[in-house]
Amino acid sequence: MAAEHELVAQPLVVTRRKRNAMAILRRKVLPRLIIYILLVLGSVAFILPFLWMLSSSLKTPGEIFIFPPKWIPSSPQWHNYPDALTIQPFGRYTINTIIVTGLSMLGTLISSSLVAYGFARIRGAGSGFLFSLVLATMMLPYQVTMIPTFIVFRMLGWVNTLKPLIVPSFFGSAFFIFLLRQFMMTVPLEMDEAAIIDGCSTFGVYWRIMLPMAKPALATVAIFAFMDGWTDLMGPLIYLNSQRLYTIALGLATFRQQFSTETPWHQLMAASIATMMPTLLVFLLAQRIFIQGIVVTGLKG
């Protein structure tokens, strides 16, 4: 009753309030709702292929070829994973991949940080020209130098060893030099000066000041180098012939070749998930570093 009375007594105020509520709904809630709907629809599109992969990997060979497909396998076939990973010596492949990826990460971190420090902090003769040369090599497609490099490694007798996949990383990579140099430029020069006054050598400044300061950028480089090494196909394809040297990427790429008939999709999906697990885990654990690294390269040049 009272409310009704108020309505009659102050119609103006209520309509205004009502209009305000409508305006808030229109200006605040509605856009937010649309944003959420778009975000959710987008994520479904991005995540569904992964779920489909997981679902397929747990099916029986019969269930895989049912149309329309079932999303939840009637009884998850977890043994698909060990089965798929023993069709080929994936254990061996994993060891090879860890050797290649680990050593190239190490090589990249050492060499690229040294070179980046030189470019960031020491104004030697011709440093400007040399740095533009570094940038220019970023534009040079791998394919141009791939063939002569292959011939050089062949002469050295390194074909069908892991060396061609590891050794080049010890000579710095243009992209990582660029990334680290950009980051090192943001470290205040006073840090170096203080260290030098305290009797630090140039190498000491690099080792004791710059490397600790550049940890986030180094972590980014480490992660990028890891991803590159783990998923590289072209390198192993060119240099490795015997199966005992294969990396995971190469092993997976040749997985289908041993089946003359229908591809065992359930096993192929299981093997694919298993091999990309490390990259997924590294990304999920180091997300912030990853994205930060992109912001650093984020071209504040």
Partner 1 sequence: MPSAANKTPALQKRKSALRRRRNLYFYLFISPWIVGFIIFRGGPLLAAIWLSFVKWEIVTPPVFVGLANWKAMPHDPLFWQSLKVTFLYTFSVVPLGIVFGFLLALLMNQNVRGVTVFRTIYYLPSVTSGVAIAMLWLWIFNPDFGLLNYFLSLIGIHGPAWLFDVRWVLPAFIIMSLWGVGGTMIIYLAGLQGIPTQLYEAAEIDGANGWAKLLHVTIPMMTPIVFFNLVMSVISTFQVFSSAFVMTQGGPMNASLFYVLYLFRNAFQYFEMGYAACLAWVLFAIIGVCTLIIFATSDRWVYYEGAARGII
Site for partner 1 in 254-273 (CB under 8 A): 255, 265, 268-269, 271-273
Query: Is 283 an interacting residue with respect to partner 1 (CB under 8 A)?
Result: yes
Among 172, 102, 187, 166, smallest CA distance to 137 is for 172
Only one of the segments 8-16, 96-104, 212-220, 228-236 lies at the binding site for partner 1 (rule: CB under 8 A); that segment is: 228-236
Nearer CB in complex with partner 1: 194/234: 234
Question: Which residue's CB is nearer to partner 1, number 14 or number 89?
Answer: 89
Binding mask 193-212 for partner 1 (x = CB under 8 A): ---------x---x------
Considering only 65, 75, 215, 285, the residue that binds partner 1 (CB under 8 A) is: 65
What residues from 5 to 64 belong to the interface with partner 1 (CB under 8 A)? 32, 35-36, 38-39, 42-43, 45-50, 52-53, 56, 64
Report the nearest approach of partner 1 to the CB of residue 45 (Å): 8
- Binding test (CB under 8 A) with partner 1, winner from 11, 61, 69, 128: 69
| Angle at alpha carbon of residue 142, lines to 132 and 230, rounded to 5° | 110
Do 80 and 58 form a contact (C-beta atoms < 8 A)? yes
Of residues 89 through 148, those in contact with partner 1 by CB under 8 A are: 110-111, 114-115, 117-119, 122-125, 127, 130, 133-135, 137, 139-148
The DSSP secondary structure of 87-147, one letter per residue, reads HTTHHHHHHHHHHHHHHHHHHHHHHHHHHHHHHHH---TTHHHHHHHHHHHHHS-HHHHHH
